[in-house]
Structure 1
């Protein structure tokens, strides 16, 4: 008999909300200087590995959806897989950790737990200029007798709250899950879950909330219509924000691209990368943690006139076909086992749904950003002031400074369109 399936849902919302923080693992206290050095080494390894996974997944998505916008949250996916597989439940999690690109000869499972705890704990901040939260909840088939016992230590940082759910009544289960999603996003997101199978064992809802203001906002008066090149001499009209100010900028002659850093008011930054025409693939193939470090060293601050589209982007990916091919086979195959979820053995993941949304506006990054027409776009800057015009496909990264986490990663091929729900059944 086929074992019950475990439905995995990744949900990312760029909206303002309040969620419960993860508790600090019991018994973790400040230690010696050697302990601090070890933690720093762990966090450095975590940042490097998570970035490596982010770029690997990005290239997979690009290969499967050529010519389309790409947008997802790498840290949301990594932390959610770690929450499920290191939180108390996977036996053993080795192949999944390798799928996340961890080298277990360099970092132990316990160090990975501590590292993810640090990331999740750090991504909790709320004030009038920055909202940053992570969380998850697990809905388990009540017939499988969910294990509701608490866990301790580093595991406590990853164990989601468990909700017994009647999956034999699909519409009721959907309403229960959507109710939580609607509550956590203040009604911004509804009807996210679809087509729950009769053999669904559990649904993991995971969310990363991000809303931030620019350190130096754009003036909406300067936002005017402009043309964005789609390729083959086709263009689309978009609202183009503009500002002349001091920005960190670099020109990477080796990779034929220009990068611009836009700072948020606290702890986060957006990195926009503009390849020269015809050089997008070259830049994409070079994306790596080491490329990010190289760009960080090359960035120089100076007066720049910036033109960047005002847009909102959303994406939904069904990743159950792509993740096993990235090393997650033990989570989706017959060898899967999550003994801490319920008394039922041999549970496997059957579906992985990742949803993301982000808005790019004059004030900053938020959900539901709208665009509107203005007057005629001004001419290019006069004199010696350099300018960067993001009027053709470019890459977008949103990074958190303290943990060096990539909160968002994407490619803007057409800022006037969002991405529909995408299924990837034809992966090779």
Structure 2
């Protein structure tokens, strides 16, 4: 089973496109994902990283619906499209809501947006209509002063953070039970002082079942070599199955392989990207990863019978996007002097901070590793072997639209 979730929390204080073909949207999705991943992974060369480009893109798209002037232009440049253009907005609904609330048997993909508004802040009718139509945004009243008081009390031991947050797991927000979004949101909001007027919480949650599940009894404790050459033992899942597989080269002639593991849903798959030479560092692949490479995978992967060894891993990252989005050219929305959200509200509002909270868990079905030996397993099979025993990249992709829901790297599967 693979379970993933992301939360993007935006705290807000006081040249139009003309339709984008589906093929171009696929490239725009991939391009934004690569740029965002590099921006967030920068300065963390040895850390596990997981990012949800689709979650961030949805929230930036929602802000487009209320932005004007240079603020809108920067948001459009970062994504490559403007959601105020109906010809752009309609294709994007394809994955957000056709597949969103049920991506097929054995898989669930759900995205929700909730806009919390302080009493006295009035939102424009057109913004409310467009945001509700495109992103299914629920507008809820909030008393941020009370919320922040509760948050401070929770840190003092009087209240749990989730008690201070009006969005409880499994509430009317549509957030799946147990996803933890309410608690994480409260922890972030409680840090800020007076002046908070609106908060936008965007969640993207995926839970999927492999098309062919890994056998619990075949999970082994096997070596995984860290970037510095240190070997460690990690629970390594195994199965012999048909997968999408291809070998490719970067511009500097580094060889790498791509493995695609499908879910029961025909539109979702997990892609694992691994340098073929064990001496080639993952960083050399990361720096050259491009939209062109991802496009070549779609045509270059072939169905192949393989013995697949994949480490079980569980990652979580928290990012403050205020320090990363400017790398993508998005600066005005954080400036009280330059932000222009006049299409959202007549009040002078700007984005104080943007938080991105992402988790991923990839397992057979959450059970512990069983005792076995790799030698016995390998003697039973004559298929080609794909063994993920060193740092690797991964992507969860929506194959119909090309959207990259999650992208990340695993440097050490044993780190939580």
- The normalised TM-score by structure 1 is 0.79
Q: Is 1:353 aligned to 2:355, yes or no?
A: yes
Q: Which runs of 5+ in 2 are unaligned?
A: 6-17, 152-160
Q: 1:250: which partner in 2?
A: 246
Q: Which residue is equivalent to 1:118?
A: 94
- 1:306-363 CA-partner distances (Å, limit 9, x unpaired): 1001122111111111102211112112221223444412x11111111111211125
Instruction: Report the Cα distance in structure 1 between the residues aligned to 2:206 and 2:49, rounded to whole angstroms.
Output: 18
Q: CA shift at 1:116, angstroms? A: 2.8
Tell me the SS of whatever aligns to 1:228: strand
Mapped partners of 1:136, 1:109: distance in 2: 20
Once residues 127 and 322 of structure 2 are traced to their aligned partners in structure 1, the CA distance between those partners, rounded to angstroms, is: 29
Matched pairs, number: 371
What is the SS of the residue equivalent to 1:395? strand
Q: Secondary structure at the match of 2:199?
A: strand
2:365 matches 1:388: no
**In structure 1, what is the equivalent of residue 261 of structure 2?**
262
Q: Distance in 1 between matches of 2:258 and 2:30?
A: 18
Query: Are 1:156 and 2:133 matched, yes or no?
Result: yes
Kept in 2, the 8 Å contact 1:96–1:330? The answer is: no
Cα 1:77/1:111, change in 2 over 3 Å: same
**TM-fit CA distance, 1:286:** 2.3
SS at match of 1:336: coil
Q: Shift of residue 76 of structure 1? A: 0.8
Question: Which residue, 3, 14, 19 being the options, matches 2:4?
Answer: 14
- Relative to structure 1, the CA distance from residue 237 to residue 98 in structure 2 (aligned partners, 3 Å threshold; closer, same or farther) is same
Matches within 5 A, 1:64-213: 64-86=43-65, 89-92=66-69, 93-102=72-81, 109-126=85-102, 128-147=105-124, 151-152=128-129, 156-158=133-135, 160-169=137-146, 170-172=148-150, 178-183=165-170, 184-189=175-180, 190-193=182-185, 194=187, 195-213=191-209
By how many angstroms is 1:136 displaced? 0.3
Indicate the residue corresponding to 1:425 in structure 2: none
Offset, 1:53:
0.9
Contact 1:113 1:154 (C-alpha < 8 Å) held by counterparts: no
Q: 1:186 to 1:269 in 2, by over 3 A?
A: same
Structure 1 stretch displaced more, 300-309 or 249-258: 249-258
Distance verdict in 2 for CA 1:247–1:325, change over 3 Å: closer
Aligned structure 1 segments of 4 or more residues deviating by more than 6 angstroms: none
In structure 2, what is the Cα distance between the partners aligned to 1:236 and 1:47?
38
**In structure 2, what is the equivalent of residue 272 of structure 1?**
272
Contact 2:209–2:263 at 8 Å: present in 1 too? yes
Deviations 1:397-420 (A, max 9, x none): 0111221111110000111113xx
Segment of structure 1 superposing worse, 57-66 or 405-414:
57-66
CA RMSD, 1 decimal: 2.6
In the superposition, relative to structure 1, how do residues 187 and 256 fare at CA in structure 2: closer, same or farther (>3 Å)?
same
**Partner Cα separation in structure 2 for residue 172 and residue 339 of structure 1:** 31
Task: Determine the C-alpha separation between the residues in 2 that align with 1:289 and 1:66.
Answer: 22
* 1:262 CA displacement: 0.3
2:155 corresponds in structure 1 to none
1:424 paired residue number? none
Aligned CA distance change for structure 1 residues 221 and 122 (closer, same or farther; 3 Å):
same
Report the counterpart of residue 26 of structure 2 in structure 1: 47
| 2:59 matches 1:59 | no
| In structure 2, C-alpha distance between the alignment counterparts of 1:72 and 1:125, rounded to whole Å | 21
1:386: Cα distance to partner?
1.4
Task: Structure 1 unaligned segments of length 5 or more: list them.
Answer: 1-12, 16-37, 364-368, 419-428
Closer/same/farther in 2, CA of residues 231 and 150 from structure 1, 3 Å limit: closer
TM-score with structure 2 length normalisation? 0.81
| Counterpart among 233, 244, 247 of residue 237 in structure 1 | 233
Distance 2:353 2:254 in 1: 37
Residue of structure 1 in register with 2:217 after alignment: 221
- Partner SS state of residue 274, structure 1: strand
